[in-house]
Amino acid sequence: MDLNERRQKILAAIIEQYVKTGEPVGSKSLLEALQLSLSSATIRNEMAELVEMGYLEQPHTSAGRVPSHKGYRYYIDNLMGENELNDVQRRRIEQSIPKNMHEPERLLEQANEVLANITNCTAVSTTPACEGVLIRKIEMIPIGSRTAMLVILTSTGILKSEVCRAGGELTPAVCEAFYNIISRTLIGRRIDDVSSAMLQTIAATVSDEFLTILPLLAGVADIAAAASQADVLLEGQSNLFNHRELEENALELIEFLKKSERLSRLLASGKAKFDIKIGEENEYRQLKNSSLIVAKYNIKGKESGTIGLIGPTRLNYAQLIPSIKYLTDLVGRIITQGLEE
Residue 25 DSSP class: B
- Claim to verify: residue 235 and residue 122 sit in the same structural domain: yes
- Claim to verify: residue 211 and residue 262 sit in the same structural domain: no
- Claim to verify: residue 306 and residue 336 sit in the same structural domain: yes
Which helix (H) or strand (E) covers residue 162, if one does? strand 159-165
Instruction: Give the integer Cα–Cα distance in Å for 281 and 70.
Output: 9
Q: Say which residues have a Cβ less than 8 Å from residue 97's Cβ, sequence separation at least 6.
A: 107, 110, 111, 114, 327, 330, 331, 334
Instruction: Give the integer Cα–Cα distance in Å for 79 and 268.
Output: 27
- Claim to verify: residue 63 and residue 10 sit in the same structural domain: yes
Q: Where are the alpha helices (DSSP H) in the chain?
A: 5-21, 27-34, 40-52, 69-74, 87-96, 104-119, 172-185, 196-203, 210-227, 250-257, 260-268, 317-340
Q: Which of 39, 57, 79 is the last residue before a domain boundary?
A: 79
Closest residue by Cα to residue 230 from 91, 133, 163: 133
Instruction: Give the integer Cα–Cα distance in Å for 196 and 212.
Output: 15
Domain extent, residue 160, equals 135-227
Instruction: Give the integer Cα–Cα distance in Å for 108 and 233.
Output: 8
Q: Which of 208, 227, 246 is the last residue before a domain boundary?
A: 227
- Claim to verify: residue 221 and residue 283 sit in the same structural domain: no
Q: Which of 198, 227, 256 is the last residue before a domain boundary?
A: 227
CATH number of the structural domain spanning residue 331:
3.30.450.40
- Claim to verify: residue 238 and residue 334 sit in the same structural domain: yes
- Claim to verify: residue 152 and residue 121 sit in the same structural domain: no
Instruction: Give the integer Cα–Cα distance in Å for 210 and 203.
Output: 6
How many domains does one find in the chain? 3
Q: Where are the alpha helices (DSSP H) in 272-316?
A: none
- Claim to verify: residue 28 and residue 172 sit in the same structural domain: no
What pTM does this model have?
Answer: 0.84
- Claim to verify: residue 118 and residue 238 sit in the same structural domain: yes
What is the chain's pLDDT, residue by residue, as a tens digit (341 residues)?
A: 578 989 999 999 999 999 999 999 988 888 887 877 778 888 889 999 999 999 999 887 667 899 999 999 999 999 998 778 889 989 989 998 887 777 899 999 999 999 999 999 999 999 987 777 899 999 999 999 999 999 999 988 888 999 999 999 999 999 998 998 899 888 998 988 888 788 777 777 766 777 888 899 899 999 998 888 888 999 999 999 999 889 888 999 999 998 878 888 888 777 778 999 999 998 899 999 999 999 999 988 888 899 999 999 999 999 999 999 999 999 999 998 888 76
